[in-house]
Structures are given as C-alpha cells and as structure tokens.
Amino acid sequence: MKHARPKQSPSRFLPISLSEAKARGWNELDVIFVSGDAYVDHPSFGVPLLARLLESKGLRVGIIPQPDWRSKEPFMALGRPRLFFAVAAGAMDSMVAHYTPARKLRRDDAYTPGNRHGARPNRATIIYTSRLKEAYRDVPVVIGGIEASLRRFAHYDFWEDKVRRSALFDAKADLLVYGMGESPLLELVQRLQKGEAFASIRDIRGTAYPSSTAPEPDADLVELPSYEEVAADKAAYAKSFRLLSGEQNPGCAKTVIQRHAQRYLVCNPPAWPLDERALDAIYALPFVKAPHPGYKEAIPAYEQIRNSITTHRGCFGGCAFCAITHHQGKTIQSRSEQSVLQELERLAAFPWFRGSVSDLGGPTANMFGLSCGNAEAGAKCRRDSCLFPKICKNLVTDDAGSSRLLAKARRISGVKNVAVSSGVRYDLMERQPRYLRELVSHHVSGLLKVAPEHLTDRVTSVMRKPGHDCFDRFRDAFQKESAKAGKRQFIVPYFISGHPGCTLSDMVDLALMLKRWGMRVEQVQDFTPTPGTLSTCIYHTGVDPFTGEKVYVARTDREKGLQKSLLLYHVPEERKNCLAALKECGREDAAAELFGQNNRR
C-alpha cells in the first residue's frame, strides 16, 4: 500500500547537492557518503544512520545517492571532502540485488525510486571507488557496508564461480570498515580531526587495510592461506574459513592477515559492541523518516519499513546460510525500553501514521534483551552459535523484558496494533512462554511467518538450524496458545531449496511432512551462495570445513528447480516437475499421498 507523504523541506535532510550544502552555510564538507541506495532518512538505512551520527558530532556530512557511474562527474556533486569519501554498495550486496539464484538479471530494485533496476552497477563498491579516485586521486576512500564487509578476505563469488580477491584490493580503497561501522568511523574522524595522517591510522578495531609488509609474527596474529592458495585449492579455502570463524568474538579475536601476491590484507579485531546508551543515542537522532523530497516515485524498501521500529541488532543463531552474525555480530545489542517507546511515540505523531506498527523487532525478534550470563566465558567464547547444536548453558533466555515491551507498545497513544514481522527462533521460544503468549494473543494477525528452512534433521544439521521435533513442538504450542486466546491462526513456514546437504529425496520427505500437517508453502527461497557464509564455503568446497566430511551439493539449475517444485506440489503447474523429481530419486510411491486430496490448512 502506498502512502501519501506530506511535503518535506530539503533543509531537514542531509545535503545531496552543493546548493543544499550552501543553504546550510557549508562551502566544504568533511565527509561525503556515496551509496548504492536512494537516500531515505530512516535508521533502517545504514548510510543515513552513519551520516546522521557524524553530523551529531559536529561534522559537515553529505550523501551522493545512486550516482551514475558511467562518468566521474556525478561523483563530484558535493565537491572534495576535507577528510574522506565513505562508500557503500547499499543495504544489499550489489550482485544479490541484481541477480536471481539462477544468475538471471532481476527486473526490480526495492531500494530505488519506482522499483527500477539499473540504478547501481555490478560490484558497486569497486566501481564507485574507481570513479572517486578518477575524480579526486588524493582523497582517501573508506569502503564499508555489507558488500565490503563480507568480501574483505579472498572469497568465493557465485556469479563468476571463482574465488576473488579481497574487495579492498579490487577497489583500490584506502581503508575498509567491516561490521556496523559506527565506532570505527567515529574513531577515524576523531583522530583525523586531531591531525593524524590518514595513512598512519592502522589500529582501529573493525577496520582492514592494505600493507606492503606483513606485521611481525606474534601470538596475537593469525595468518590465513594466501589468496593464491585459496583460489587454487579448495582444501586451503576450507582451512581459511575455519581459521577465520574463530576470530569473530571481539573479546578474544586476533589480528588476521592474508597475503595477496606481494601485499597483505591486515584485518584488525572486530569493533566492540555498542552499549545500550550508545544505541539509544543513535536512534534518538533527528531522522525525518522519509525519502529525500527530490524523489517523485515510491521506494518499495521504505514503504516496507516506514512503520517499523528496530529494538536491537545482532544475532547469536549462527545459521550457516545467514550473513547477519558475520556483519552485525553475535552479541545482542539492545536499546532501552524507554528509547523504543519514545520512538513509538514519535512515530505515532507523524501525520501519515494510521495506527499500525509493521514490525517491532530486529534480526531475530525474540532475542531482545538477551545476553551471555557468564561475562568471563563469553569473552573467550569461539562458538558460532549460542543455539546450535544445543542452547548454551550460559545463555540468558529470560523473556520478561521482551514481553513487557510488547505489552507497553500496545498502550502507546495513537497505536492501534503492533505486529512482529521479524523472524523468531522457535527453539529459543520454548524457554520464553510469556513472549509466545504475548505474540500469539496480540501480535499475530492470523498468520505467523516462521522460517524453519527445512525439517529433515540431516539437512537442518548442515544449516545449523533446529530440526523436525523442535518445529513440531512449536507448532503444537502455537496452536494451544491460539486456542486459549480464542483465535484461529496459522503458521506460514518458509523454506530454502537447493541448500548444501539437501537431496531430492530430502525434499520429498519435507513435502510429505507438510502434506500431513495440512500446510502449504507460499514461497520457497532458492539458496544463493553469498560471500562469507558457512553454506557458501560448503557449496564451493563440497565439505564441512570444521569436520572435513563431504556434503552433497545440488549444482545444476535443473535439480535446484525440481527441489523447489516438490515444495509447491499443490500448485497444478508444478505437478509435471514433481513427478519427474519423484522418478529421479526413486520415490514414485510418494505420488499418491502428495497428489491425493489436499488437507485443509
């Protein structure tokens, strides 16, 4: 649904042109961001959030959104910055934004006005930096965002089906900021303001830099196999991933280096998580919560999140296919209850708000306020997940704070209903009966979307997800709580097809489970090997890097298409493909059950 927006004054936004900068009395900017997304002044968009944060520290900041990369002139729209350019491809990796899992060109882009494809280039981080160096060769360029963050080491690239160099070397940037970016950027500008030379700043947490020499070997240094080694040898690639996975915890992480020809990538330990006070201050910044008034068409990504509230960041789920933990970190960084409620009050005061909050959550909604209950053990922990293969004994799973927040959110004046549309971990919710009761009774509008991704235990083990029994218990608990609330509600599950470890026979088993439960899948996500994840490492190498065991991988578009068809067995147009899949894996006996009279949901 599209909403009419009241007219906004450009002066309320950060400048995107010299005329807007001069209207503020600025003849020169300190930092200029270049983004692959349209400029939406909302905290859910990373570049505006970072830009507002620097502005709050007294810096003159501007944004060049979605510049035409075919020449250098659009990159000169705000002139030469005094300190540096900051480049981000956008909220998504540009290759993920451009291509389907079958490597076909997408026709849309939700982060662009009018949902039009083509407003950013492939490998935007590299192209943007190249144009900036062409325009201002002597101005430092800092790259960041999820594209640069997850491509900071030599990485497998699905779209070229090969291992590529670090994005820092391909972009020829001066510094790479990985993770969420607030702390590294603030420290960088503060040290530059004090007169330190950009080239001498090499010790900021959450950054990586190029070096012509390797740091002196010591106990606090980890060297990965070189780019040349991981590009030529899949065993070396798996070893590199395994070594790197142990260096994600800021409390015990070491400096990691990787040689690329005659140079080295030097990656400092991750930035420390933000505390509650720092996070509250960020979300209290004066966001207009609207697209820049220069846009005349709707921006789908904004329409989706305009009425949402972020309560926390980070995820300790450690799903094999997910990049959130690698980018936001495993530590849950939660805002205070007061901060969240105050933002709800501000949201309710907007003239376009109609009473419905589309989401109150984060990467995983029911992780709000959770933490490790053993600070000493947590500082040394090298587990990728606090939930897999079983819930850590040190994890505090108390749901008092999250359930109380939901109850208070409903009572905000002007708020009629509050949805929780972020994902939930149902294995965690087994320990959160109050949150489940609040969610089912007040925050589900008939359908609850959950993402088990698969239900065959052999596949969920590869995915680092809970299996069949856990989902069955959650399904039962959900139905009982719905009945207590006097509501007829249903679970809508989301699944991934073609994930490493999954065979056609596994998908037949999954389809049969859904049929027996009376569930129909509305959407199936094809697995896409995105940079930096465990699933991508397994897809590329064919082995689990931690055990060395071989893992089956569906590699052809045909097989991946048949896997998807099996979950859509109830769609008449998919029956031919389903029968072909059953024949191929010797499961023709399942046809009678799958294509008999469908159970009601």
Answer yes or no: is 480 within a domain: yes
Q: Which residue has better confidence, 446 or 14?
A: 14
Indicate whether 9 belongs to any domain: no
Q: What was the pLDDT predicted at 598?
A: 46
Token duo for residue 128: 């943007």
Average pLDDT over residues 407-419: 94
Residue 55 Cα distances to 29, 31, 89, 389, angstroms = 11, 9, 21, 43
Domain end position, chosen among 208, 234, 253: 208
Give the model's pLDDT for residue 597. Answer: 53
Spell out the residues 6+ positions from residue 264 whose beta carbon is closer than 8 angstroms to its own: 210, 211, 212, 213, 214, 215, 257, 258
Name the pLDDT band for 277 (thresholds 50, 70, 90). Answer: very high
Is 70 a domain residue? yes
> What value does the mean pLDDT of the chain take?
94
pTM of structure:
0.94
**pLDDT recorded at residue 214:** 83
- Does 585 show up as a binding residue in the annotation? no
Distance separating alpha carbons of residues 312 and 366, to the nearest angstrom: 10
Q: Answer whether residue 279 shows pLDDT above 80.
A: yes
**What is the mean pLDDT of the segment spanning 193-204?**
97
Q: Please report, for the domain that includes residue 115, its CATH number.
A: 3.40.50
pLDDT category, 449, cuts 50, 70, 90? confident
Pair 447, 559 in one domain: yes
Residue 571 pLDDT exceeds 80 = yes
Does the pLDDT at position 501 exceed 90?
yes
- Domains identified in the chain, total number: 2
Supply the pLDDT for residue 195. 96
Query: Domain boundary at 173, 189, 208, which?
Result: 208
Question: Is there a single domain that holds both residue 202 and residue 289?
Answer: no
Residue 333 and residue 368 in contact, taking contact as beta carbons nearer than 8 Å: no
pLDDT at residue number 601: 38
**Quick check: 5 pLDDT over 90?**
no
On whether residue 601 sits in a domain, the answer given is no
Exposure of 210 by Cβ count < 10 A (0-12 exposed, 13-18 middle, 19+ buried)?
A: middle
DSSP calls for 97-162: HHB-TTSPBPSB-TTSGGGBS-SS-TTHHHHHHHHHHHH-TTS-EEEEHHHHHHTSSSEEETTTTE
pLDDT at 216 over 90: no
Beta strands 162-164; 221-223: pairing state: unpaired
- pLDDT tens digits for 349-395? 999 899 999 999 999 999 999 999 999 999 999 999 999 999 999 99
CATH code of 573's domain: 3.80.30.20
The pLDDT of residue 1: 43
Is 322 within any annotated ligand binding site? yes
Averaged over 474-479, what is the pLDDT?
95
For residue 69, the tally of other CB atoms under 10 A from its CB is 19
Distance CA 310, CA 326 (A): 19
Judgement on whether residues 40 and 152 belong to the same structural domain of the protein: yes
Do 181 and 309 sit in the same domain of this protein?
no
The answer on whether 502 is annotated among ligand-binding residues is no
Q: How many residues does the chain have?
A: 601
Pair 108, 192 in one domain: yes
527 lies in the same domain as 446? yes
pLDDT digits 0-9 by tens, 155-172 = 999 999 999 999 999 999
User: What average pLDDT score do residues 81-108 get?
Assistant: 95
Which of the residue ranges 5-9, 280-284, 514-518 would you say has the lowest mean pLDDT?
5-9
**Which residue segment(s) compose the domain that 528 sits in?**
278-594
Residue 511 lies in a domain: yes
CA 360 to chain centre: 17
